[in-house]
Amino acid sequence: MLKPILSKNSVAFLAKRPPKHARQITGKIIGLCEEPHPPDSKLLHGSPEGYLRADVGEYRIIYLIEGDNLEVHLIGKRNDDEVYRRFARR
């Protein structure tokens, strides 16, 4: 099982969500630690580092598998491109 590592942005985003949504997102992250390549995850195009994305409800998680760690870099709304714009600025 992979160890989850959340960026400061991811932690801040979770803290601002309603408790139900935060639990759903946290559950998905735990699931990704157990199975980092579920059927709904996809490789981000144009990302040579191998970043992946997974959806949970109305949110999108952008993460990277680095050794024994699952690094969650961003969490954002699924139906807009803001999460990708923030990812490109990193």
Residue 17 in contact with residue 67, Cβ under 8 Å?
no
Q: What rounded mean pLDDT belongs to the chain?
A: 92
Cα–Cα distance measured from residue 11 to residue 29, given in angstroms and rounded to the nearest whole number: 12
Residue 29 in contact with residue 72, Cβ under 8 Å?
yes
Cα–Cα distance measured from residue 64 to residue 7, given in angstroms and rounded to the nearest whole number: 11
Tell me the mean pLDDT in the region 75-89: 83
What's the pLDDT at 76? 92
For residue 35, give the CATH number of its domain. 3.30.2310.20
Q: Which of 13, 6, 3, 7 is nearest to 36 (CA)?
A: 3
- 79 or 12, which is more confident? 12
Range of the domain at 78: 3-89
What's the pLDDT at 8? 95
**How many domains does the chain fold into?**
1
What's the pLDDT at 53? 94
Whether the per-residue pLDDT at 13 is higher than 80: the answer is yes
Tokens representing 48 are 């040579």
